[in-house]
Structure 1
Amino acid sequence: MKTYDYLLSYNIKPSVQRIAIMDYLLAHKTHPCIDEIYMALCDDIPTLSKTTVYNTLKLFVEHGAALMLTIDEKNACFDSETSLHAHFLCKKCGKIYDLPFSGETKQVERIDMNGFFIEEIHQYYKGVCPACAAKEQGKEVG
């Protein structure tokens, strides 16, 4: 599916900036922050501002086309993978990895739990990734 159609499927009106930002999110599964997205796109779109990137990402999150991750207090990161999954933050290298969700609930559509209507579930893990652990042990991970 082309990015134009992808945005329309989430009821988001495509624009040059929105298409470029979503293209970046879909192509870079690194959970980028606003600054990273802005720096990657500003040369190709000179009229792009950080405010536009912020507002566009906020729109994507509001429409369910992206997730905003607030795993640490430093940055909000964004993820184009909207299926239910967990995240792992490596305390050594700072990379964020997708992990399978280990909770009982696989669907999140207004789950009623004793009168609490759950609309979102976030599961974050923090620790050391395999690559950093191998470096500490003097080994390389393939």
Structure 2
Amino acid sequence: MNVYEYLISYNIKPSVQRIAIMDYLLKHKTHPSIDEIYLALCKDIPTLSKTTVYNTLKLFVEHGAAKQLTIDERNTCFDGDLSLHAHFQCKSCGKIYDVPLSTETNETEKLTKSGFEVEEVHHYYKGICPHCCEKSLAKN
């Protein structure tokens, strides 16, 4: 499915800006912020503003086409991967990693079977990533 069809499947009217922003989210698994997306796209779309990026991402989240991550109180970032997964944020470099979740321990499924209607799930881990651990060991 191309980005145009993807947006339509979420009842979002495609525009040049919306297609570019969603395409960026789907291709860049870096959990970008509004500023990162704006800086990456403004060269190719000179009429793009940060406000447009903000409003577009808000629309995507409202329609369920993207996730908004607030792992820490200072940064909001976005994820185009809607599959069930967790996130790990490195306290050293700040990078956010996708972490698979085991379907065997799917608490959402247990809650649903108990009559709860789960609308959102957030799994966040924080610590030091393997790359930063390796750099730390190399210094010592």
The answer, yes or no, to whether TM exceeds 0.5 is yes
Length-normalised TM-score, structure 1: 0.88
TM-score by length of 2: 0.90
Q: Deviations over 1:80-135 (max 9, x none)?
A: 00111100000000000000125523559x93757x54311101000000000011
Matched to 1:89, the amino acid is Q
Q: Is residue 111 of structure 1 aligned with residue 122 of structure 2?
A: no
Q: Which residue of 1 aligns with 2:27?
A: 27
Structure 2 unpaired stretches of 5+:
none
- Residue 38 of structure 1 corresponds to 38
More helix by share: 2
Q: Which residue type is aligned with residue 13 of structure 1?
A: K
Relative to structure 1, the CA distance from residue 80 to residue 111 in structure 2 (aligned partners, 3 Å threshold; closer, same or farther) is same
State the partner residue of 2:66: 66
Going by fraction, where is strand more abundant, 1 or 2?
Answer: 1
Give per-residue Cα distances to partners, 1:27-46, cap 9 Å, x unaligned: 11000000000011111111
Do the aligned partners of residues 113 and 106 (structure 1) sit closer, same or farther apart at CA in structure 2, a change above 3 Å counting? Answer: closer
Aligned identity (percent) is: 70
Unaligned runs of 5+ in 1: none
**Number of equivalenced pairs:** 137
